[in-house]
Structure 1
Amino acid sequence: MKLPRLSLKSKIIFFMFEMVLASTIFFFYIIYRFGIGMLSAESIIRSPYLLLALIIVIMVIYFMMLISLVTKYIFVPIGEMKRAAGHIKAGNLNYPLTYQPDNEIGEFCEEFDKMRVRLRDTIMEQHELEKGRKRLIASITHDLRTPLTSIIGYVEALQDGIAKDQNTYEQYLGTIHEKAELLNHLIDDLSVYTKQELGEFTLNLERINSGRLLNHYFEHKTYEFKFSNIKLILRKPFIATYINVDPYRFTQMLDNLISNAKKYTRSQIVVETTVRNYRLFITISDDGTGIPQDYLQNLFDPFFMVNKKKDQREKGGSGLGLAIVKQLIEAHEGGIDVTSTIDQGSSFTINIPIDR
């Protein structure tokens, strides 16, 4: 029959017990063997065996005190860490270490507990990222299908000769162009989001005249509103100053803000520029239904929508547009603010440093 394995603590206690028992037997044997009836300094001096027995007793007492300290400051925290490791192994990362004396072992336990907390947070972050990826795939799949279906429908209509006059023909082409631009926006958003997750996102900064950049962008953008019932109002002249931006990513920010305003406005979108404290401010306003104040703090979170089901069904979009804008403008060392009034509309303002 195999004997159970003793722990280190049990072995030390068993060894100390044997020492105490052997020393006690030896001590009384010396007294009995040599007939020492009374302990005194003189009797101890005359009997070296008695002196040896007392030394052994003192050593036993010393070792008993030592084992008590070792148990308190080594075996107890090791036991705590063993229990904590068992909980971690079972998947319970919320089990805290309660041993925190001010010594090296206590510091080790504290670092062990920090490792547990970090592991728990990392796993939670991974779960959130995985949920985010699943939401992203579901949203992008839905959002890509909708404009693609529209493009296919209008192209088939043109092929079948439904557009009998030039005005209808141009209107169909404008709609196809708009849906293609929407697809391009979704792909750009997906690209930025995934690259930032992978840590591969970079900017190609250039020193550019802001007035020239904005005029060129809105010359192209104005065509999209040609057949729309929404009016694009540009407060010109745009301020012309030099800024360090990635032109492609900068226009992507404007695209997302214009696209967002277009979804929720009633009749018009207004674009204007100002300069304050050596920063260029670009404001895009709409006259839509507005955003409740309670939602403003979460407006730039990925996948956030004020009314998710309704927005996805009626407006389209994955909930990434404004989150991408915030990430891009912060990568340019800028910022973004939003103000909104119910039944009056919303204003989004991005700001970026001027290159002096």
Structure 2
Amino acid sequence: MKVINRIMLSSALLVMLSLLSLLSVFGIILFFDSLNGDGGKEMLDAKLFKAEEQMSGFDASTEQWGQLHEQLDSFGYRLLVMRENNVIYTTLADSGEDRINSLTNIRLGKDALAGRVQDATFIAMNKEGYLIYAVKQTADKSGGNFYAILRPAILISIAVIVVIVLLSQLFTRRMAYRILRPLNALSEGARRIENGDLAQPIIYKGNDEFASVCTAFNHMQEHLLEERRKNNAYEQARIDLVAGISHDLRTPLTSIKGYIKGLRDGVAQTQEKREQYLKIAYQKSTEMDKLLQKLFYYSSLETGNLPLALKLRDLGQFAHHYAAAVHEELAQMNATLTARIEPAPHPVRLDSEQMNRVMANLTENAIKYAGVSPLRLNVSVWREGDSEHLLFADNGQGVPEEHLPHLFEQFWRGDEARTQTDGNSSGLGLYIVNYIVERHGGTVTARNHHGLQIEIVLPGGKEASVE
């Protein structure tokens, strides 16, 4: 049950208990009041006639007023006897002048008279010159009954209030426990995260709003744990990259130093030998430049400062120029690159230098991992709708299907056995391709089809949107 429903239900129960308690108190008061109302009246009427019968049969000449008092007292009446305005005999509890005056002001005939005066019931009778009054002081008794009822009613009310308070405390405590249990779990989870413990989830099996909060907290914790693992992997990859490139820089640098020292020491005595030494030193310096360029690109990608100078160019012409530029270099490695351009304009906004880096990385990746000789590379350009497509394909062995989704990830290498002896197996080549293409507002995908095919899609025309 949801917390809001629990609170509403608890409030409703408290209100119902309060009302039932009040109704019970009023019911008890009404019950006792009814007993002292109608029932009292019935008893009073019956006793009044019996008291009158005793008074009628009494012989006043005997003046045995004590005997008459005993007879009337059994019915709850007191006796007052007067003669010529003087009190002869009385057993009234209140013999004040007001009560006596009220009774004596009643005119009596030969017949008996009954009624009420002030707050008392009376029977009056004139016998042999004596005025005889039987008085039942109901006021004192009824007042006593009222207070007798009022006192337990107050006690019951106090008891009901105490019960309501105790029940309220019980419900509140249980509700507070239900609310504080997930909150304490969340607080404990936050402290664990603060201390670096992301492995232990929050365990809460409730079926309320807090369940979704705890689930979201666990998802956040899992995401943080996954990000930590990725960051650790990236950090280790960065360390490996820097260590590998540092190692790779040492090899050509040592060679350059050795050949230059040989030239200085006169080891190369002929012109042909000196030219050979200089050529090898130049090749090694070129390798060092490639390694340093990788570090520069990696640093630019990490900081988001890779410069882009976008200009409107023809993608088909760009592919032709690149194929012509690398023709001789590829021929030395028993490889060819053919450009097949759809006969139509292919305007795109691109940075020629960065896009040339894309083509160079694709070529380098094919040379390293195609695994065939001779290597045949094909570049195709065509238009579909508002987009320009460039397909870079080789005739190699392709890659396992499960590796295709990971080709453009940072530092990913499908074959962990690949070494970094030439500084080119850092797992950054295709990642840089994807990064540059996305900066141009395009997308890049890979698939297997008689080798590996990498397709680049760029927004076409002057209206192309660039990030």
1:56-91 per-residue CA deviation (whole Å, 9 max, x = no partner) reads 233222222222222222x32233234434543554
Percentage of pairs with the same residue: 25
User: How far 1:290 moved relative to its partner?
Assistant: 4.1
What TM-score, normalized by structure 1, do the two folds share? 0.69
Query: Is the partner of 1:308 in helix, strand or coil?
Result: coil
Find the aligned partners of 1:130 and 1:93 in 2 and give their Cα distance: 19
Could you say what secondary structure the match of 2:202 adopts?
coil
Letter aligned with residue 427 of structure 2 = G
Aligned to 1:232: 336
Residue 267 of structure 1 deviates from its aligned partner by: 2.3
Which of 270, 284, 287 aligns to 2:377? It is: 270
Matched, 1:62 2:175: no
Secondary structure of the 1:312 match is coil
State the match for 1:299 in structure 2.
407
Structure 1 residues 346 and 64 mapped into 2: Cα distance closer, same or farther (>3 Å)? Answer: closer
- In the TM superposition, 1:183-202 aligns within 5 A as 183-202=288-307
Higher mean alpha-carbon deviation, 274-283 vs 142-151, is at: 142-151
When structure 1 is superposed on structure 2, of 154-163 and 183-192 the one drifting more is: 154-163
Q: Is the 8 A contact 1:140 1:186 kept in 2?
A: yes
Superposed counterparts of 1:144-223, under 5 Å: 144-149=249-254, 161=268, 169=275, 173=279, 180-223=285-328
CA contact (8 A) 1:45 1:51 kept: no
Aligned equivalents of 2:190, 2:423: Cα separation in 1: 50
Q: Which amino acid aligns with 1:249?
A: Q
Output the amino acid matched with 2:163.
Answer: V
Distance 1:328 1:267, change over 3 A: same
Match of 1:253 in 2: 358
User: Secondary structure in 2 aligned to 1:351?
Assistant: strand
1:353 aligns with 459
- Are 2:234 and 1:126 equivalent residues in the alignment? no
Distance of aligned partners of 1:229 and 1:124 in 2 relative to their CA distance in 1, 3 Å threshold = closer
Question: Which of 390, 395, 414 is the matching residue for 1:282?
Answer: 390
The answer to whether the aligner puts 1:136 opposite 2:241 as a matched pair is yes
Q: Aligned residues, how many?
A: 311
1:323 alignment partner in structure 2 = 431
1:336 matches 2:444: yes
The amino acid of 1:59's aligned partner reads V
Q: Which residue of 1 aligns with 2:420?
A: 312
Contact 2:311 2:349 in 1 (8 A): yes
Q: Which residue of 1 aligns with 2:157?
A: 51
* Equivalent position amino acid for 1:61 in 2: L
The one-letter code of the counterpart of 2:348 is I
Contact 1:178–1:224 (CA under 8 A) maintained in structure 2: no
Residue 95 of structure 1 and its aligned partner are, at CA, apart by 2.6
Superimposed CA distance per residue, residues 228-287 of structure 1 (whole angstroms, 9 cap, x where no aligned partner): 242434336786522111221101101111222233452234333230304444344444
Unpaired runs of at least 5, structure 1 = 1-38
Tell me, yes or no, if the aligned pair for 1:284 and 1:347 is still in contact at 8 Å: yes
Deviates further, 148-157 or 216-225: 148-157
Indicate the SS of the match to 2:390. Answer: strand
Q: Which has the larger radius of gyration?
A: 2
AA of the residue aligned to 1:243? V
Rounded to whole Å, the distance in 1 between the matches of 2:229 and 2:451 is 37
Q: Does the Cα contact within 8 Å between 2:252 and 2:285 map onto a contact in 1?
A: yes
* Partner-residue secondary structure (3-state), 1:235: strand
CA RMSD of aligned residues (A): 3.9
Structure-2 residue corresponding to 1:19: none
| Change beyond 3 A, Cα 1:302–1:52 | closer
Please tell me whether the aligned partners of residues 315 and 381 of structure 2 are also in contact (alpha carbons under 8 angstroms).
no
Q: More strand by proportion, 1 or 2?
A: 2
Displacement of 1:147 in angstroms is 4.6
User: In structure 1, how many angstroms separate the alpha carbons of the residues matched to 2:366 and 2:287?
Assistant: 14
Q: Which moved more, 1:146-155 or 1:84-93?
A: 146-155
- Quickly say closer, same or farther: Cα 1:184–1:115, change in 2 above 3 A: same
Letter in 2 for 1:234: T
Higher normalized contact order (CA 8 Å, seq sep 6+, divided by chain length): 1
Contact 1:305 1:311 in 2 (8 A): no
AA aligned opposite 1:252? R
SS in 1 for 2:381: strand
Q: 1:137 to 1:338 in 2, by over 3 A?
A: same
Q: Unpaired segments of 5 or more residues in structure 2?
A: 1-26, 33-147, 463-467
* Structure 1 residue 327 displacement after superposition: 1.9
From the superposition, tell whether residues 315 and 144 of structure 1 become closer, same or farther in structure 2 (CA, over 3 Å): closer
User: Is contact 1:150-1:176 (8 Å) kept?
Assistant: yes
